[in-house]
């Protein structure tokens, strides 16, 4: 099932792999080498319409299949994902750049969602009351929405589609995925496994493309729900357009995650965890820590340790065993990240470690989109640099005299995806949890990614909507409640 080089990627519509009728294609590149590895079609409105119509037909049948039967293909999918983990992980690394271990890690989190969605018979239960009035009973049941769509970003091609797909289909919807055009190969692989898992024709569709494809989904009257993950401006746009068209929407946006280090923290542990948070996946995680605020005397030792860790990080091709950090996604991304470092310096920050312009070993990686870890100190918390999402391996260090001041700095940004605290004090942890304005909190953790049985709780500009991805929130998002109030006059016994 290896996807061959520079292959033209296909759509999956009505249970068939199809060549797109698109007139425009984009090149998919391996970010470690800049080599073109596939061509992805930018599907137009007519193709979206066909996929949605077919999905709608499938939904009308699928919603009648008992939930205990609807979850059976998910059990098969779980087994197939385990069986193909290695090849899937290599596909992720080759199109997205992260290390093999990071690719396996994201697949594990995706598989977890498949497992949790297998609990749909319990998760989608309603509730009832007998005798809400004399002889009258009332119940709430959950029914699927119809056709639902997901639009996903480049940084987790294996995991993010699985934040949505398992819950959508387990609850009786038909699901259409529009993956990131930068990393569409993992999804091709995933859909081949989905076909083997035995979902009925049309329940799952895959449509490749860009903005025009997305807009066609947002405007299609038969699409009833839209799940999105990506940057904040696009999240805001998608939320507005989908909801203006009367659809449900859950849109996860960008981030700029702070961490606070108190003087009583275990400095060796804090450094190891925060270095992984800041530089893991080349800083391209929506839960990457990008700003660290040290309090009082934590500054000296922590700064020394984090700079040493950043400088020692082995950067290179993600399939090489000793490599700890891969390239960023594209040449544009590298240029944007590196120019933002200049902006930070212009705004007064001190460059402690400059990761720009450093080579990686191997002639074949000469053109790869590598930029090494960069650390800036004395960053002004109110500067543009401190409040802009960089989405690369660039860490800002800030200082506070007191814990209260550190929390104030952490709350300055409009994003609210994650905030972390490093301390050995339970009371400090409790206060932080209470006061900090973010939906995912880590205490002595640097990537506080909720397990699949908790909602992924972004706040502020990191999330537009009400119900988040995963678990109960996912099930609630993909179902609408129906309340039935019923009276049955007691006349039947007279007939017998
Ligand atoms: P992006 O917003 O550029 O693209 C995401 C998706 O939206 C892609 O499928 C793309 O084709 C589509 N898209 C892009 N521009 C569009 C437009 N104008 N109209 C309609 N559709 C459009 O994001 P990206 O660069 O792929 O991903 C990185 C971003 O995702 C970062 O900001 C990161 O923080 C964020 N992210 C957030 C989370 C989270 O849980 N909050 C998780 C992962 C990534």
Report whether 347 contacts 339 (CB < 8 A): no
Measured CA distances, 216 to 2, 203, 221, 309 (Å):
31, 19, 10, 46
- Ligand 1 center to 101 CA (angstroms): 23
- Ligand 1 center to 435 CA (angstroms): 29
d(CA 126, CA 378): 53
pLDDT at 4 over 70: no
pLDDT at 478 over 70: yes
- Are β-strands 35-41 and 7-8 bridged in parallel, bridged antiparallel, or unpaired? parallel
Which domains, ranges and CATH numbers included, belong to the chain? 7-253+462-483 (3.40.605.10), 257-443 (3.40.309.10)
Q: What percent of the chain has pLDDT over 70?
A: 98
Banded model confidence at residue 496, pLDDT cuts 50, 70, 90:
low
d(CA 261, CA 293): 6
pLDDT, mean of residues 343-366: 97
296: left (phi over 0), alpha (psi -120 to 50) or beta: left
Q: Which residues line ligand 1 (CB under 6 A)?
A: 151-156, 178, 180-181, 210-211, 214, 229-231, 234, 237, 252-255, 286, 389, 391, 417, 456, 458, 462
Banded model confidence at residue 134, pLDDT cuts 50, 70, 90:
very high
- Residue 346: count other Cβ atoms within 10 Å of its Cβ: 11
pLDDT at 363 over 80: yes
- Are β-strands 463-464 and 248-252 bridged in parallel, bridged antiparallel, or unpaired? antiparallel
- Ligand 1 center to 269 CA (angstroms): 32
Q: Which pLDDT does position 136 carry in this prediction? A: 97
Note the pTM of the prediction, 2 decimals. Answer: 0.97
Place of tokens 């068939």: 16
Q: Which pLDDT does position 173 carry in this prediction? A: 99
- Ligand 1 center to 347 CA (angstroms): 27
pLDDT tens, residue by residue, 263-298: 999 999 999 999 999 999 999 999 999 999 999 999
pLDDT tens, residue by residue, 211-233: 999 999 999 999 999 999 999 99
- Residues classed as catalytic: 286
Question: Which candidate, 30, 53, 49, 29, places its Cα nearest to that of 39?
Answer: 29
Q: Which pLDDT does position 490 carry in this prediction? A: 76
- Which residue's CA lies nearest to atom 10 of ligand 1? 180
pLDDT tens, residue by residue, 13-64: 999 999 999 999 999 999 999 999 999 999 999 999 999 999 999 999 999 9
Q: Among 44, 92, 153, name the best residue to mutate to test ligand 1's pocket (greatest count of ligand atoms within 8 A of Cβ).
A: 153
- Ligand 1 center to 30 CA (angstroms): 19
pLDDT at 493 over 70: no
Mean pLDDT of the chain: 97
Q: Among 183, 230, 282, name the best residue to mutate to test ligand 1's pocket (greatest count of ligand atoms within 8 A of Cβ).
A: 230
Q: Where are the alpha helices (DSSP H) in 63-159?
A: 67-70, 72-83, 85-96, 100-117, 120-123
pLDDT at 256 over 60: yes
d(CA 123, CA 158): 24
pLDDT tens, residue by residue, 383-437: 999 999 999 999 999 999 999 999 999 999 999 999 999 999 999 999 999 999 9
Facing residues of 337 across strands? Answer: none
Q: Among 113, 156, 206, 234, name the best residue to mutate to test ligand 1's pocket (greatest count of ligand atoms within 8 A of Cβ).
A: 234
Q: What percent of the chain has pLDDT over 90?
A: 97
Classify the C-alpha dihedral 76-82-84-89 as positive or negative. positive
Secondary structure class of 206 (helix, strand, coil): strand
Integer-rounded Cα Rg, in Å, for the chain is 24
d(CA 78, CA 180): 23
Banded model confidence at residue 1, pLDDT cuts 50, 70, 90:
very low
Measured CA distances, 339 to 302, 349, 416, 478, 483 (Å):
26, 14, 25, 41, 55
């Amino acid at each position: 099932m290896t996807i061959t080089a520079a292959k033209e990627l296909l759509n999956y519509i009505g249970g068939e792999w199809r060549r797109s009728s698109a007139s425009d294609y984009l090149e998919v590149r391996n970010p470690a080498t800049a080599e073109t590895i596939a061509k992805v079609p930018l599907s137009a409105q007519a193709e979206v319409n066909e996929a949605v119509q077919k999905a709608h037909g499938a939904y009308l049948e699928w919603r009648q299949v008992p939930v205990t039967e609807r979850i059976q293909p998910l059990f098969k999918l779980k087994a197939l994902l385990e069986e193909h983990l290695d090849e899937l992980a290599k596909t992720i690394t080759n199109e997205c750049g992260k290390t093999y271990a990071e690719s396996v890690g994201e697949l594990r989190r995706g598989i977890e969602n498949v497992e949790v969605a297998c609990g749909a018979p319990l998760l989608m239960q309603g509730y009832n009351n007998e005798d809400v009035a004399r002889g009258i009973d009332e119940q709430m049941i959950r029914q699927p929405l119809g056709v639902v769509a997901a639009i996903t970003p480049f940084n987790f091609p294996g995991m993010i589609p699985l934040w949505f797909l398992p819950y959508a289909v387990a609850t009786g919807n038909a699901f259409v995925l529009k993956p990131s055009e930068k990393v569409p190969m993992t999804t091709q692989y995933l859909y081949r496994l989905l076909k083997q898992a035995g979902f009925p024709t049309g329940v799952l569709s895959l449509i490749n493309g860009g903005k025009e494809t997305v807009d066609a989904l947002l405007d299609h009257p038969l699409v009833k729900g839209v799940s999105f993950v990506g940057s904040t401006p696009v999240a805001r746009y998608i939320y507005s357009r989908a909801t203006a068209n009367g659809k449900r929407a859950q849109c996860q946006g960008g981030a700029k995650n702070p961490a606070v280090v108190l003087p009583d923290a275990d400095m060796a542990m804090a450094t190891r965890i925060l270095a992984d948070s800041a530089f893991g996946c080349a800083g391209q995680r929506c839960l990457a820590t990008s700003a660290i605020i040290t309090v009082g005397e934590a500054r000296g030792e922590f700064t020394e340790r984090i700079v040493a860790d950043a400088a020692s990080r082995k950067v290179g091709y993600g399939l090489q065993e000793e490599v700890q950090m891969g390239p960023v996604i594209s040449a544009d991304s590298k240029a944007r990240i590196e120019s933002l470092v200049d902006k930070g310096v212009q705004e007064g920050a001190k460059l402690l470690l400059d990761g720009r312009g450093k080579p990686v070993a191997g002639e074949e990686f000469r053109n790869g989109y590598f930029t090494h870890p960069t650390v800036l100190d004395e960053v002004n918390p109110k500067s543009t640099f401190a409040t802009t999402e960089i989405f690369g391996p660039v860490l800002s260090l800030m200082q506070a005299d007191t814990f209260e001041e550190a929390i104030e700095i952490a709350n300055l940004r409009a994003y609210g995806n994650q905030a972390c605290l490093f301390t050995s004090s339970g009371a400090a942890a409790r206060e932080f949890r209470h006061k900090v304005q973010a939906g995912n909190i880590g205490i002595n953790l640097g990537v506080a990614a909720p397990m699949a049985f908790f909602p992924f709780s972004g706040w502020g500009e990191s999330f537009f909507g009400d119900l988040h991805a995963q678990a109960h929130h996912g099930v609630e998002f993909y179902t609408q409640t129906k309340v039935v109030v019923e009276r049955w006059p007691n006349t039947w016994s007279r007939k017998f």
